[in-house]
Amino acid sequence: MSVAHTSRPAEGRRFSLLSLFEAMATPHQLDRYLELVTPMVTVRDLRAEVIEVRRSTADTVTLTLRPTRQWRGFRAGQFVQVGVVIDGVRHTRCYSPANAQASTDGLVELTIKAHPDGLVSQYLHAHARPGLVLDLSQAAGEFTLPSPRPCRLLLVSGGSGITPVLSMLRTLVDEQHVGSITFLHYAYTENDVAYLDELRALADANANVSLVLAYTDQETGGHLHGFFGQEHLDAVAPWYADAETFLCGPPGLMRGVREVYRELGIEDRLHTEEFAPAAAPAEGAAGGEVSFTASGVTADNSGATLLEQAEAAGLHPEYGCRMGICFSCTTVKKSGCTKNVRTGDTDTDPDKAIQLCVSVPVGDVALDI
């Protein structure tokens, strides 16, 4: 037994030195060399170490991250891109920090729901542990509180959409904001509410904060039951037409709130953040070829997004959210016409930067991939 224990570190050192030598013999950036020795020492790349892992509900995991010195902080409501290597392939997804924006400890708190088909969320839920090092981007996004702060605020969330609006609530409490705040959160049951104890404590400790819990699959407990409707707003925030509303949640909740605000003519009072895949293009609309000029690959246009078509052709373009939010997949379109499936806009300009994840080709298209 003692021989086995003493030989493994030596084997590990030989492997690390060999890997470092191989990396230095290839045109990698300096951060790639350092990554083989100590991942948290970087020159340019931003990374973060997991220092705490908590599980407050059955399908969520809360990670506390300590970023490297390149981190510039965030505003409540913004998102970051998190990169993790799974089976040798680096994958990136977008998540919103849940902590207050002026946290003095410099840490980042992410709460991630393990979606059934979510490769990264499932991996982090199952395997995240203290010491795990992740790639991290600087914060981005315009889903943020205005300055000066509104006198009345309605924060609406559902499921894992709680994180950006919780960040807003924590920030407002830290700032000792005195305006009225109603925090309306939708969940299947009480057991599915992340941060439940903290939400109740914040409401108890701050007279201007009202917590409203709505359960869709539980008929007892909570303040409201069933799915969102205007009657919910009338019951818990009758002043909502004069307030600023911030909304993040699943597609059904987003649609319901938007419809009510549109019918009432107060859409300008509604601010939203939505991490949902772009709508699929209509069947039968495909035609032409997609040329990936840098790779010398050509494929028949399947009608899918250009990101999906590139991956189907065996290419590996960089991507993040796959929803048209983070711009990680931005690529130069050399020629041809593309349609943005989020906005419906078409573009025929050559040498134009487009987002692969929300762009479909209309006829022949050439990309610099």
Q: Per-residue pLDDT for the chain (369 aa), expressed as one digit of tens each?
A: 333 333 344 444 444 444 544 445 444 455 555 555 566 666 568 999 999 999 989 999 999 999 999 999 999 999 998 989 888 877 888 899 999 998 888 999 999 999 888 889 999 999 999 999 999 999 988 999 999 999 999 999 999 999 999 999 999 999 999 999 999 999 999 999 999 999 999 999 999 999 999 999 998 899 999 999 999 999 999 999 999 999 999 989 999 999 999 999 999 999 998 765 555 555 445 689 999 998 999 999 998 899 989 988 999 898 877 888 888 899 999 999 999 988 888 999 988 899 999 999 999 999 999
- The CA-CA-CA angle for residues 272, 277, 279, to 5°, reads 100
Q: Are 182 and 244 in contact (CB under 8 A)?
A: no
At 10 the pLDDT is 43
Question: Does residue 364 contact residue 288 with C-beta atoms inside 8 Å?
Answer: yes
**Six-digit token pair at 220?**
């007892």
pLDDT of residue 342: 84
Q: In the 8-state DSSP scheme, what is residue 140?
A: B
User: What tokens does 169 get?
Assistant: 């609530």
d(CA 208, CA 331): 47
The DSSP output letter for 187 is E
Residue 306 token pair? 């250009």
Q: Which residues contact 229 (CB under 8 A, 6 or more apart)?
A: 256, 260
Q: Look up the pTM and report it.
A: 0.75
Distance CA 99, CA 83 (A): 20
Q: How far apart are the first and last CA of the chain?
A: 52
Any idea of the CA torsion for 206, 207, 213, 214, to the nearest 10 degrees? -150
Query: By the 8 A CB rule, do 319 and 307 touch?
Result: yes
Query: How high is the pLDDT of residue 40?
Result: 61
CA 361 from chain center: how many Å? 26
In the chain the domains, ranked by start, together with CATH numbers, are 25-136 (2.40.30.10), 152-273 (3.40.50.80), 289-367 (3.10.20.30)
Cβ(185)–Cβ(236) below 8 Å: no
Residue 247, amino acid: L
**Cα dihedral angle (286, 288, 290, 296), rounded to 10 degrees?**
150
Angle between helices 30-37 and 2-24 (to 10 degrees): 180
Determine the Cα–Cα distance for residues 334 and 352; give it in Å rounded to an integer.
7
Q: Taking the CA atoms of 339, 344, 348 and 353 in sequence, report the sign of the dihedral they define.
A: negative
Cα-flanking dihedrals φ and ψ of residue 302, to 5°? -90, -10
Q: How far is CA 109 from the centre of its chain?
A: 13
